[in-house]
Amino acid sequence: MRSDFSASLAQLTAEKGLQKDELIDMVEAAMVSAYKKDFAGNEEKNIVVRMEPQSGVPHVYEVVDVVETVEDPNLQVTLSEAKRSNPQAVVGGTVEREVTPPNFGRIGAQTAKQVILQRIREAERDHIYNEFIDREGDIITGVVRRIDPRGIVLETGSGGKAEALLPPPEQVQSERHRMGQRIRVYLLEVNRSAKGPMLIVSRAHRNFVRRLMELEIPEIYNGVVEIKAIAREAGSRSKVAVWSRQSGLDPVGACVGQRGMRIQNIVNELGGERIDIIPWHEEQEKFVANALSPARVLNVLIDDVTKTAAVTVPDAQLSLAIGKEGQNARLAAKLTGWRVDIKSDASPRDTVQSEGPETPQETPQEEAERRAADSGAADGAPPGAGLASPLLAEGGATDTPLDSTPGDGAAGDGTPDEGAAEDGTLGDETAARRVSAQAPAPAG
């Protein structure tokens, strides 16, 4: 050790992020191991090494107990001998006797080199672990350093000494990252391993949206607006239910911001993922109706036993309520915790059934309901709907049977069958043959 010991400590402190006292303790512990290995032999001794903070010169002390009768000379000493090194020694106490060998600084440093390096690495890993263990559930920033099949490796932490892994299940499939790109991630967990702390991060977790909103929206960060629930399909769409603790404050408006600036910043961070801000309501019927936004809901019936919500929407907005590939209904179910069944308010259309001998006679009430349905279908149904039954009742025939099966005017692959004209209509001979087959036989 030389006079530049303090400068070396300062350099290690800056590079490794460790404290000066912590480094000195590691060096002293390593020097103790070096002394026991080179000078103590097989004798069991209690050794302590103390270093001068400025010069780094080590001093080795042998700690012994003060007793009346010595049983182990390596660990015990009489009171008279103890008073030679420490006049204030008493029976039952301890004294330190300096036993520093010549040139111990140079010899001890060579022997303790690997021990010191190992202790520094362990201390550095502990420092990284302690830095991130309290940040689980927060957003951290990292730089992409490596992309391999097991995931994307990010460099993060103070001085870039920590590595974070973004595994494939926690990635957004629509995102593409490049080397050197700085990205935000959600810290899922911090694990200890033989190679140091392993940080597992995510960009697909629903709480990633929550933390971004807390960073971007002061009302959420301060607790004035509370996020009640989040449902997310990463990279595509998210629904967030919010509620205001302050009377008169619009939670949705606070999240959207002036001209949508607040929510737009979050959307940009998520790569264009759509975010629906939903007002939360303690009445489950209203909450379910809000969750299906932007569709307009007419009625909601809640079944607490089956945990099902039966929702009625206008016929024109049925597809909007369900969403593309059922996404809107699926996210609404995740957001509310209810199974959502959606139906339109349109009356069911008349279905044509084949008449048979076992068909029961209509009651007057059924006939009235059928006539009412016929009139409703005639108002909004496509041309020709509800006209098949009168034709059959009058003995008439149609060019195409009601149960259009392949072979009756069009084959299963879309090609016309035999007897069809080139323009797609039935030929005269075929039409006549089918009319004769469906018309009643002449009397007599």
At 423-438, the pLDDT tens digits run: 434 344 433 333 333 3
- 8 A C-beta contact, residue 66 and residue 93: yes
Top-confidence residue, 56 or 300: 300
pLDDT in tens, 293-338: 999 999 999 999 999 999 999 999 999 999 999 999 999 999 999 9
* pLDDT tens sequence across 108-159: 667 677 777 887 888 888 888 888 999 999 999 999 999 988 899 999 987 7
Handedness of CA 111, 116, 119, 121 (dihedral sign): negative
Return the DSSP state at 420: B
Both tokens of residue 42? 């097989």
Q: Which residue segments constitute the domains of the chain, with CATH numbers given? A: 5-131 (3.30.1480.10), 135-202 (2.40.50.140), 206-344 (3.30.300.20)
Quick: pLDDT tens for 338-379.
999 999 988 554 323 333 334 445 556 666 666 666 555 445
In the predicted structure, residue 263 carries a pLDDT above the cut 60: yes
pLDDT in the model for residue 440: 42
Q: In 291-349, which ranges are E strands?
A: 299-303, 308-313, 339-344
According to the model, what pLDDT value does residue 39 have? 74
Mean model confidence pLDDT for the chain? 77
Percent of the chain with pLDDT over 90: 41
What is the DSSP track for 334-375? HHHSSEEEEEESSPPPP------TTPPPPPHHHHHHHHHHHH
Angle at alpha carbon of residue 282, lines to 281 and 287, rounded to 5°: 45
- 3-state secondary structure at position 43: coil
Q: State pLDDT tens for residues 193-239.
A: 877 888 999 999 999 999 999 999 999 999 999 999 999 999 999 99
Side-chain-facing half-sphere of 170: CA atoms under 13 Å: 22
How far is the C-alpha of 409 from the C-alpha of 418, rounded, in Å?
9
| Closest of 322, 201, 187, 209 to residue 274, by C-alpha | 209
3-state SS, residue 177: coil
The pLDDT score that the predictor gives to residue 354 is 31
Q: How far is CA 197 from CA 15, 146, 301, in A?
A: 18, 17, 51
